[in-house]
Amino acid sequence: MQDQSKIITKESKSSFYYAFSLLPREKREAMNTVYAFCRKTDDIVDESNEDENIKYEQLRKWRNELEKALHGQSEFFLLNKLAKIIRQFNIPLEPFFELISGVEMDLQKKSYISFDDLIHYCYRVASTVGLMCIEIFGYKNNSAKDYAVNLGIAMQLTNILRDVGKDVDKGRIYLPQKDLIKFNYTEKELIQKKYNSNFKQLMEFESERALYYFQKAEQFIDYEDKPLLFPARAMQHIYLKLLKKIKNKEYDVLNNQIRVNTFEKAAISLGVWAKYSLIY
């Protein structure tokens, strides 16, 4: 059976592809498999036009098949390969099941009351991925786990800011309701995609939160772990650039498609790799 993990990773045009393309082959192939699992899990909810009850059932089956892959044999080639990667790199199981629960939250909640509620979601759908990845990258200090958790939150918050308009089209509002109230910007205005001074102030506030978690992550990465974690560092710089671009557009994500292009992603990844390969 053809292994689709590399194809899934490459066709997604994800920042992940560029960040770990310079890993040694064994680790690169492991990352392709982990990313393909994450992508497929997310697609059950985001890419399918099925009824929500069917999506719940598909997630339940996906979770059960992951368990089968770990303890026997799944009908999904990808999950069987993932189970081998988990054993090979001794990756904790909790992040994989937490990710599935996080994706399920998109079926359960269309909005979040407070930032504390949103943080729980960010941990499940993003920090978990970081906790999977660092076991493949390798690290010497346990603080790398705190680095992964905070970087995941920072990156997911940045994704949320970039995709405010797209998400509202799907009926989802990730910006906390308490923050909308604080800046006197209504859900109705967001649905109508009204860009005004209140929206700009709201987005600036949320951007500062994302920046805070990038800075917090930085506090937990040990000097000797930086070379091993260069793919995560590359992702960090790519997303910081995205956050800067959002700011440069005066936070008008409703009328602008803001992204880091392919050349920029590749250049950043190569630059980070070269820095840690030549200096350390």
What does the domain layout of the chain look like in residue ranges?
5-278
Check whether 5 has a pLDDT greater than 80: no
Q: Which residue has tokens 């941990």?
A: 123
CA–CA separation, 261 vs 175, rounded Å? 25
Average pLDDT (23-29) is 93
CA–CA separation, 29 vs 239, rounded Å? 23
Check whether 50 has a pLDDT greater than 80: no
Q: 269 is written with which tokens?
A: 């990844």
CA–CA separation, 110 vs 176, rounded Å? 11
User: Which residues of the chain form beta strands (DSSP E)?
Assistant: none
Could you tell me if 172 and 110 are in contact, meaning their C-beta atoms sit under 8 angstroms apart?
yes
pLDDT in tens, 207-248: 999 999 999 999 999 999 999 999 999 999 999 999 999 999
Average pLDDT (64-82) is 94
Confidence (pLDDT) at 279: 52
Which CATH architecture does the domain made up of 5-278 adopt?
Orthogonal Bundle (1.10)
Task: Please give the angle made by the CA atoms of 27, 33 and 39, to the nearest 5 degrees.
Answer: 130
Q: Which long-range contacts (CB under 8 A, 24 or more apart) does 87-92 make?
A: 88/30, 89/30, 89/135, 89/136, 90/135, 91/132, 91/135, 91/136, 92/131, 92/135
Confidence (pLDDT) at 14: 62
Confidence (pLDDT) at 99: 98
Q: 21 is written with which tokens?
A: 């393309």
pLDDT in tens, 181-210: 999 999 999 999 999 999 999 999 999 999
Check whether 104 has a pLDDT greater than 70: yes
Angle between helices 25-46 and 52-71 (to 10 degrees): 150
Q: Which residue has tokens 């102030």?
A: 201
CA–CA separation, 31 vs 91, rounded Å? 12
- Using a 10 angstrom Cβ sphere, with 0-12 exposed, 13-18 middle and 19 or more buried, the burial of residue 8 is buried
pTM of structure: 0.92
* CB-based contacts of 186, cutoff 8 Å, min separation 6: 180
